[in-house]
Structure 1
Amino acid sequence: MPTRPATLRLATLNICGLPPALSRLPPLEVRAAEIGRRIEASNLDVFNLQEVWGGRSLATVRRHLPSFPFAAWRRAVHGGPAGGLVTFSRYPLDEPRFRSFSGTAPRTSSLAFRAQRAINARRQGMLATAISGWNVVIGNAHLTANKDGDWSPGSRYYRFHEEQVAVLHTFLREVRSPETTLTVVSGDFNIAADSKLYPLITEDGAWRDPFRDSDAVTYHPEFLPAGATGHRIDYVLLSGDEARFPVLDSDTLFAEQLTTEDDTKIWASDHVGLTTRVGLDGVAGAGPTTISGTR
């Protein structure tokens, strides 16, 4: 079994693996090649991805991450990753568990809206796996998108997201074992960090948020409707003794356009990723997470 290193370096990204007709981004094959080139050259240990829709998308991404031979995901009925969730790792992973947000639904607005969101909730969910022999659990989550951009208590998404956050925290409690000392969950929560739902996400501070004091916007404004305001809707959260597992550094990922080998500028995704480096058992380790944003 590989020796546990001094630090855990984790990144999260909604890769937007939608069919080309539903995306304004370059094809996933083009983006995955550029993303993979940079992740391969980095010192990341774990890479959480959301919206890896379908087996072809998974194969495309996996082909460009050869240094991450371990991938945790559960097969959906269509053959691809359930919930579009995949956790890549340089270290062996235990058998993953997945749960969808089935059963959650909006309580207000039209019947058509509530029915459609309830159907979408069945496709999205939470994935969890443990790094073998580390007593560390890695969670990966994707909650339903708020198409209104309104997270106020009176919005039609508010109670819906309340339910999904509650389901997520229940799931994370269930996947921990008595030996678990650190849990890290990340992903696209689709909930603004400056909304009244934020205390629910962190369970009133029970989970540490390395980006709490950051004003980082994690959905590129270029992909928002005209006049809409960007927010931080992606998260990395930690549960574990702060003295043993300190956050050593955190940064955004793919916040700028990438330059391809033929000098074309492209976005890696419509989301900005996040990276966090955590000390294991109070050992700081060497050097921050490094990922080049250009060539």
Structure 2
Amino acid sequence: MSPRRGGGRAMKVRVLTFNTLFRGQVRARIGALAEIVERADYDVVCLQEVISPRILARLRGGTPSYPHRAHVRGFPLVRGGLVTLSRWPITRSHFLTYTRSLPARPEWILRKGALFTRVRLPDGYLTVVNTHLSANLDVDWSPSNVYTKVEESELRELAAAIGRIPRTEPMAVMGDFNVPRESPFLRAFTDATGLANALAGDAEPTFRPEIAEFEPIDQILVRPGIEATTRLVFKDDVRLADGGAVQLSDHFGIDATLTVGTA
């Protein structure tokens, strides 16, 4: 399991981003997800809503071929619910915690933010940013909405952190942005950071439409020099160890092949 080399010194790196859903048959679903990820050819996996340390342990036990992992243990929860798995060495990681903004809400306990990891590839490095922004509880992304203002503030913090990393460093930023793909303030974020949305123009929802009608809110953004092909995964029910079947999450996953040029 390794980055595939293309022509020249470019490499193909397989990534996955997926919001795992923190409630419901979590242990069983994480077990099924771990089996799928362990059999797959992903190089890096970014997961959101892995909140419980016990669920994190279940995930780690089921993915032995990903020896390199990044997360931050908080008490009593995994900070931000963010976990990044890698088959390639992680040479550095740090967690950016978004500033808490009113209104007060239960997700404050998660300390949402962004998990930065620098992955060492055979011919260079790739910085991977795994993030989960605050939810828009009104499902209203108009500029005056209070939750829109929270998300805009978090995007500004994330843009500032990304701006401190040299633009020559290949980078992929992914996760549950809780922001519609075509929203003007997400475009302002990509303009400020120089990132391109790998799914730009794709209107297929990433949240299960039978649960709620959202525009696509999960994203993969890449720096110039990286090409990406993407597809949605985990649309079908999966079989559990007890013989039952269940949806893996209320989100779909985004599977991407990144063609990364090396400096």
With structure 2 as the length reference, what TM-score do the two structures score?
Answer: 0.87
Distance (whole Å) between structure 1 residues aligned to residue 178 and residue 60 of structure 2: 25
TM-superposed CA distance for 1:236, in Å, is: 0.6
Corresponding residue for residue 240 of structure 1 = 224
* Equivalent in 120, 126, 143 of residue 136 of structure 1: 126
Q: Is residue 2:261 matched to residue 1:281? A: yes
Residue 40 of structure 2 is aligned with which of 39, 42, 47? 42
Question: How big is each residue's C-alpha offset from its partner over 1:175-233, in whole Å with a ceiling of 9 and x where there is no partner?
Answer: x257x531101011111123332312422682111111211211113333xxxx22211
* Residue 210 (structure 2) pairs with residue 222 (structure 1): yes
1:191 to 179, 182, 196: 179
Answer yes or no: is the 8 Å Cα contact 1:85–1:140 preserved in 2: yes
Name 2:233's counterpart in structure 1: 253
CA–CA separation in structure 2 for the residues paired with 1:280 and 1:239: 10
Q: Mind listing any 5+ residue stretches in structure 1 that lack a counterpart?
A: 18-22, 107-113, 283-295
SS in 1 for 2:184: coil
Q: 1:74 aligns with which of 66, 72, 91?
A: 72
Q: Output the amino acid matched with 1:154.
A: S
Instruction: Find the residue that maps to 1:145 and give its secondary structure.
Output: coil
What CA deviation, in whole Å up to 9, does each residue of 1:36-93 have, x standing for no partner?
2221221110000111113112101111111111101122233x43211110001110
Residue number in structure 1 paired with 2:19? 14
- Residue 98 of structure 2, aligned match among 101, 107, 120: 101
Residue identity opposite 1:184 in structure 2: A
Question: Does the residue aligned with 1:276 lie in a helix, a strand or coil?
Answer: strand
**Are 1:52 and 2:50 matched, yes or no?**
yes
Residue deviations 1:217-266 (CA, integer Å, cap 9, x gap):
11113333xxxx2221111100132xxx322x210121222233565321
The question of whether the paired residues in 1 share the 8 Å contact of 2:3 and 2:14 is answered with no
Which letter does structure 2 place at the counterpart of 1:128?
F
**AA partner of residue 145 (structure 1):** A
CA distance in 1: counterparts of 2:66 and 2:146, whole angstroms: 40
Q: TM-score, normalised by structure 1?
A: 0.78
Aligned Cα RMSD in Å? 2.4
Identity rate, percent = 27
Q: Are residues 1:85 and 2:90 paired?
A: no
Q: State the partner residue of 1:231.
A: 215
Which structure: greater strand fraction? 2
Size of the aligned set, in residue pairs, is: 254
Correspondences of 1:125-204 after superposition (within 5 Å): 125-132=113-120, 134-174=124-164, 176-177=165-166, 180-203=168-191
Aligned AA (1:275): D
Unmatched 5+ residue regions in structure 2? Answer: 6-10
